[in-house]
């Protein structure tokens, strides 16, 4: 059986470093399975910056979280659609575009993989 997997980009809210978040589709959900540091050149070469996904983003028990701050939470910016780490703040600041906004919980998300 072939596994449908992809990598989307995120930025650490503490270190402002970019990392790849591996996601795998299982029964209509996207599951976060792994995260790793990634440089812009490699992300562009692999096409990670062009990935767009819609769905839920659950995590496996083994998911290590951000490779920089170890946080397993994330938020999707309502402005640029990109991902940054989330540590429970009521107002978040996107580490891609700088937009600040209140946070809310959603079951399904539209996520843009990056783009530099």
| Three-state secondary-structure class, residue 55 | strand
Q: Using an 8 Å Cβ cutoff, are 25 and 4 in contact? A: yes
Instruction: Tell me the average pLDDT across 24-48.
Output: 92
Separation of alpha carbons 113 and 7, rounded Å: 8
User: In the predicted model, what is the mean pLDDT of residues 68-85?
Assistant: 91
> What are the φ and ψ backbone dihedral angles of 36, each rounded to 5 degrees?
-150, 150
Task: Give the tens place of pLDDT for each residue, 78-100.
Answer: 888 889 999 999 999 999 999 99
Tell whether the model's pLDDT for residue 116 goes beyond 50.
no
Domain-wise residue ranges, the chain: 5-112
Q: Please tell me the predicted confidence (pLDDT) of residue 38.
A: 96
- In angstroms, the Cα distances linking 94 to 10, 26, 47, 85 are 10, 28, 22, 9
Q: Does 20 or 56 have the greater pLDDT score?
A: 20
Under 8 Å between Cβ of 112 and 81: yes
Condensed to tens digits (0 to 9), the pLDDT of residues 42-60 reads: 999 999 988 888 888 889 9
Answer yes or no: is pLDDT of 107 > 90.
Answer: no
Q: Which residue has the higher pLDDT, 52 or 16?
A: 16
What is the chain's mean pLDDT, rounded?
Answer: 88
């Amino acid at each position: 059986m072939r596994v449908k997997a992809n990598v989307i980009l995120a930025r650490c809210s503490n270190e402002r470093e970019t990392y790849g978040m591996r996601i795998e589709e299982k029964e209509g959900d996207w599951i976060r399975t792994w995260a790793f540091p990634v440089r812009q050149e490699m992300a562009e070469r692999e096409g990670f910056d062009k990935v767009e996904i819609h769905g839920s983003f659950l995590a496996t028990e083994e998911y290590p979280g951000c490779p920089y701050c170890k946080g397993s939470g994330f938020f999707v910016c309502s402005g640029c659609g990109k991902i940054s780490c989330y540590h429970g703040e009521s107002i978040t600041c996107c580490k891609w575009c700088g937009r600040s906004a209140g946070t809310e919980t959603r079951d399904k998300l539209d996520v843009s993989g990056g783009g530099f």
